[in-house]
Amino acid sequence: MGKLNKLEIEFDNSKIMCYAGETLKGTVVIDLNGTLKIKGIRLRFHGYASVHWVERYSSGTGKNKRTVAKHFDAVEQYFDHSAYVFGANKAETHYLPQGVHKFPFEFFVPTGCPTTYEGSIGRVRTYVSATLEKLWVSDISTLKPFTVINPLDLNKDPRAKEKSEAINEATFCCLCCKSGPISVKISVENIGFVPGQAIPITTEVLNLSRRKISVIKAYLHMNVRYHSQKKSKTHQNVIAALKRKVSKSPEADVLQDKLLIPSIPPSFLNGCNIIDISYILEVIIQPSGLAFDIPVRMELIVGTYPMESTIRSLTQSTIISSSPNSTNGEKHIQKKEVENDLVVSKNPKGCISFMESVIGKVTIEDEEESDNIDDKIVYTPVYPYFSVQQSTDLFCVDIPPR
């Protein structure tokens, strides 16, 4: 890059995240090995959601048959602000001497901005870019994504405290003989959890058939629904799983299991109208022999702030109440906007940390925001993770705004 050794964006305290309604602070760092003549240094703060996928189908017949590609897309803008940190008057020529130069900046992230999410056909992305506007030659830019967290406090959603049960039953036939049914019920004492917690699952099996139960599996599914202007599309990912082999298969049995929730975005993705996220707990009973599986499902709420009982006990939540049962499937939980009053409280025992998303990293390239950027930008969102003991792999902060 000639006289330019380095052009970087650094966030204060090495934080790569902030909460909606907070101020993001950082510095643009430029290292020069000689004097550089420029028009200015421009920052862009951009937050948006986008959805795009392609569906192909055949059209016509015979020699006129062809494949048609139909595009589905949608975009939401949350903020798009540009400002100069050096050389605001573009009509003038400015000189930066040799050495290291630092230009601090601050930006208020709007309260309604949704939580960052990176998916296969859609995203909620927020970033800062810095551009050296040069004379007569191409500009030079760098970009740094950051994670925004729109708080979902489980204490403010009464549904999170509800007990939930789901039931399914299947009857198997052996040749001409019909055997008794296998009935499965799963229950949780509350449906609200945060990443880092383990979901305590109670599975009750009543086996009146001639078949033995060989395997019990539990899955946590993340369902992501993308909305374009004309159509919606749903992707499902397994983000946590466990498997239990059953050595003995009594007629009636009650099993206790725990499924750890990894670092994932919160339910609903409040503030975003084109991407919805929900989480489904599924327990599958596998009978021995040639028999179909028996699935039982229920929806859970994953938040960013645990229930107070969780913090006090440093164990899984113990709040118990009642709710209607769900039979043969899932209880759908409607998106609900949760107020964000930005009240900060201290965490006397537990610890909220921020861990990289289990969904994985994304490479930002060949898009609008990567113009004039030579290097690929590899980025992984981080999400609140509740841990009893601080890990060296995490950075720990006080309990965040709720």
> Which class is domain 4-150+360-381?
mainly beta
Cα distance between residue 89 and residue 101, in whole Å: 19
Model pLDDT for residues 333-362, shown as the tens digit of each residue: 555 443 333 233 334 344 788 999 999 999
Look at strands 164-174 and 326-327 and give their pairing. Answer: parallel
Is the pLDDT at 327 greater than 70, yes or no?
no
- pLDDT number for residue 372: 65
> Which class is domain 154-339?
mainly beta
Average pLDDT over residues 162-185: 83
The domain locations on the chain are 4-150+360-381, 154-339
| 117: nearest Cα among 7, 252, 278, 253 | 278
- pLDDT number for residue 156: 95
Per-residue pLDDT band for 313 (boundaries 50, 70, 90) equals low
DSSP 98-130: SEEEEEEEEEEPPTTPPPPEE-SSEEEEEEEEE
- pLDDT number for residue 342: 29
Tokens of 372: 């004039």
Q: pTM for this structure?
A: 0.84
